[in-house]
Amino acid sequence: MIPSEHGGAAYALREEQISMLRELKLFLFDLDGTLYLGERLFPFTPALLREIRGRGGRYLFMTNNSSRSVKDYAARLCRLGIAAQEADFVTSSQAAVYYLNRYCAAATLYVCGTRSLKEELMRAGFGVTEKPEEAEGILMGFDTELTFQKLRDISYLLCTRDLPYFATNPDYVCPTEFGSVPDCGSVCEMLYRATGKRPVVLGKPEPIMPQLAMERVGCAPQQTAVIGDRLYTDIRCGICAGVRTVLVMSGETTPEMLESSADKPDVVLQSGAQLLKALRLA
């Protein structure tokens, strides 16, 4: 068995769990809280990614954070010391484009999101408007450029029109070095209190991103794992997609949250450092 460095026997790995981890071919990593925290890269991260590549495996970065474009994310990881290309990412923005192309192709959207999200949607052929009267649908993202005018416009649309209403993700908070800040789910909850309307969620915990990743790489569900720090997005997403699930306790989840959750991961680790140790076993 492999004990955790900080959690003692509470997060020790059983032999069958170690075997399962070593059989994986595709590792779908959440980012913040899993591989880094804010602007601080976890010490084990570079070695873990090298180990996966050295074993002939593949990893992709799978994030619900729609505030940055894939290009921005790749640049950020390179700045933190991780060599990353745009093809290494599966994002909630990509999941939104995939879903909207199937059900709302070429629609004009009122977007509560950053300039990067709006540009990504426009490149995919969607119209983006700041005029409520032009909106044919609403998309909520993690909006680090949020204004009260956006909240008012969306409240007006939800109260007066029956428009398709989507959200990139349901995360309540985004972790930082000092704690957390409100994420898309918190803003959607605020709008629900005002309007009684809830959006259709397109990112985690929905299975779209793992499905896109497996299709891209050519891996089966039993060869694939979602690794993340949140039960209600990362772990639930992996369960919905039928893949393996690995919870790391280096981000949002507390032992009390894990104990009370109906969604139980296949493996619980104190951090990705335990995963690195398991993969290095002969």
Place of tokens 């084990």: 44
| Helical segments of 146-218, H only | 148-160, 184-195, 208-217
> Residue 138 CB: number of other CB atoms within 10 A?
23
Rounded-to-integer distance, Cα 31 and Cα 133, Å: 37
pLDDT band at 241 (very low <50, low <70, confident <90, very high): very high
**Residues 252-264: what's their mean pLDDT?**
94
Rounded-to-integer distance, Cα 216 and Cα 209, Å: 10
The CA-to-CA distance between both ends of the chain, in Å, stands at: 14
CB within 8 Å of 155: residues ≥ 6 apart: 191, 194, 195
pLDDT band at 1 (very low <50, low <70, confident <90, very high): low
pLDDT at 245: 98
**Residues 93-105: what's their mean pLDDT?**
90
pLDDT digits over 15-68, tens only?
999 999 999 999 999 998 999 988 899 999 999 999 999 999 999 999 998 888
263-279 burial code (b ≥16 CB/10 A, e <16): bebbbbbbbbbbbbbbb
pTM for the model stands at 0.83
Instruction: Report yes or no: 34 and 227 within 8 Å, Cβ to Cβ.
Output: yes
Encoded amino acid at 1, one letter: M
